[in-house]
């Protein structure tokens, strides 16, 4: 088993280059954690691809030994959400109704690009059925527990639940997830790691089972901004990738949307961690301004009939529901069926409202390097708390509310852990401009350095 701390991609890459560890050792260490009966592997994964992972790791070690490693990242173990096509493997999206799905005929570009760089895929991670919830609950495969307070058993966040828990528990150095309303950032916040949602056009959606093509985006979950930056660059098509330089926080401009729903009903621990993070940034020389952002208040009204997620998921699921309705998670089914309430005129109005709100928001936030708010309003709730439908809906809304606003605006957005050691995990969300991904990574690296310092 590897004795190198595999907490970040850069650290692992340096250790591999120096011969201090090997791809096989990294893969074996991750697989040992996955297979630990006292751990979360059985709930975090729906399929473990141990044989293929070890074969790939041996190949990467052999290539590195003769100076032919495809990239500095070759041999680093990662996971893939059960939403992405892998050639020869069924894509089931955490759903029982797709149990008999045929094997995929091609690998999704996002996955294939990472494989070409030499990353080792350990397996497919668990998720909310069809990615339609922010809680992380899956009645078919079980619900992996947040690393916080395992004795109680707390929600991991969703929909990329298994990806987040796998990273937090060292079952791979990073996870490939998706984010339609917060599905990378919410589990990152509830599991104490970093989760990134790019501008949606940056990474191709081909080979990814859709929830809402208007909102879907492909993002990484990992232990640092540097890790997410490298993975995003490669998935977006870059031939090479390196971590962003850490710039000083002094002189950066951050806006906090005061008086908006982003700050309604915050759990006291979330509010305290957020204000502490803001104070540290101000002390480091950042310019902090609390500003009005009235356009945010228009988003709930635009989504009143279920928004893009309901309309577009219903279009994809309608025929499958007709054949296999009883096989769905009823809580997911009820959310998909809201799409049947919308007609073409409703959808056209939604498109127009989004375009208008996005344009107004660009002008409103133009003076800031990032907009700051808590990622989610709550620390990880107990899994038992969402047994009743009313609480399931209430908690789901509170977890997704802040992140979903920036999906609607199609902003790049990242969640960084901002809680103190020993406290319940809390995420600080930084949201940048449309197509401002590179700039946001630089800003986020600066903020991360202050928070860790």
| 1 DSSP 8-state letter | -
Residues 6+ apart with CB under 8 A from 356: none
Which residues lie below 8 Å from residue 177, measured CB to CB, with a gap of 6+?
81, 159, 160, 163, 164, 183, 184, 187, 195, 218, 219, 220, 221
Catalytic pick among 22, 160, 178, 183: 183
Beta bridge partners of 196: 414
For residue 69, count CB atoms less than 10 angstroms from its CB and return exposed for 0-12, middle for 13-18, buried for 19 or more: buried
Q: Exactly one of 8, 146, 159, 413 is catalytic; which is it?
A: 159
Among the listed residues 2, 81, 161, 229, the single catalytic one is 81
The answer to whether residue 159 is catalytic is yes
Q: State which H helix or E strand residue 373 sits in.
A: strand 370-374
Task: Respond yes or no: is residue 8 known to be catalytic.
Answer: no
Question: What is the rounded radius of gyration, in angstroms, for the C-alpha atoms of the chain?
Answer: 21
Contact residues for 32 (Cβ-Cβ < 8 A; gap 6+): 1
Cα–Cα–Cα angle for 204, 209, 214, rounded to 5 degrees: 60
- Contacts of residue 363, defined as CB under 8 A and 6 or more positions apart, other chains included, come to none
- State the Cα–Cα distance between residues 336 and 316, nearest whole angstrom: 10
As annotated, the active-site residues are 81, 159, 183
């Amino acid at each position: 088993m590897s004795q190198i701390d595999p907490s970040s991609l850069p650290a692992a890459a340096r250790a591999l280059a120096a011969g201090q560890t090997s791809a096989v050792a990294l893969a074996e260490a991750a697989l040992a954690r996955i297979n630990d009966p006292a751990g979360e592997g059985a709930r975090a994964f729906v399929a473990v691809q141990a044989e293929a992972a070890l074969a790939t790791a041996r190949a990467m070690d052999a290539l590195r030994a003769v100076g032919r490693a495809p990239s500095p990242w070759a041999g680093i173990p990662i996971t893939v959400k059960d939403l992405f096509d892998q050639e020869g493997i069924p894509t089931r999206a955490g759903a029982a109704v797709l149990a008999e799905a045929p094997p995929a005929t091609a690998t999704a570009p996002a996955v294939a690009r990472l494989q070409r760089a030499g990353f080792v895929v350990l397996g497919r991670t668990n998720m909310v059925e069809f990615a339609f919830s922010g809680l992380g609950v899956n009645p078919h495969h079980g619900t992996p527990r947040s690393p916080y307070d395992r004795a109680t058993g707390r929600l991991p966040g969703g929909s990329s639940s298994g990806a987040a828990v796998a990273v937090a528990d060292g079952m791979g150095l990073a996870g490939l997830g998706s984010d339609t309303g917060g599905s990378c950032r919410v589990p990152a916040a509830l599991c104490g790691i970093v989760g990134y949602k790019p501008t949606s056009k940056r990474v191709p959606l081909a080979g990814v089972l859709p929830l809402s093509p208007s909102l879907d985006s492909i993002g990484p979950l990992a232990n640092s901004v540097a890790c997410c930056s490298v993975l995003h660059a490669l998935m977006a098509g870059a031939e090479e990738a390196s971590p962003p330089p850490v710039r000083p926080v002094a002189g950066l401009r951050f806006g906090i949307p005061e008086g908006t729903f982003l700050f309604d009903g915050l759990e006291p621990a979330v509010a305290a961690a957020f204000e502490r993070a803001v104070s540290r940034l101000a002390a480091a020389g950042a310019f902090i301004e609390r500003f009005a952002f009235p356009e945010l208040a228009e988003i709930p009204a635009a989504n009143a009939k279920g928004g893009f997620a309901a309309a577009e998921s219903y279009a994809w699921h309608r025929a499958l529901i007709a054949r296999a309705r009883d096989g769905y998670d009823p809580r997911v089914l009820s959310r998909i069926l809201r799409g049947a309430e919308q007609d073409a005129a409703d959808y056209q109005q939604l498109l127009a409202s989004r375009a208008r709100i996005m344009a107004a928001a660009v002008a409103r936030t133009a003076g800031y390097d990032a907009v700051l708010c808590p990622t989610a309003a709550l620390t990880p709730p107990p899994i038992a708390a969402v047994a009743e439908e009313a609480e399931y809906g209430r908690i789901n809304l509170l977890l997704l509310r802040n992140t979903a606003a920036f999906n609607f605006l199609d902003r790049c957005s990242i969640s960084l852990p901002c809680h103190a050691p020993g406290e319940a995990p809390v995420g600080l969300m930084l949201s940048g401009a449309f197509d401002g991904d590179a700039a946001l990574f630089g800003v986020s690296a600066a903020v991360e350095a202050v928070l860790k310092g």
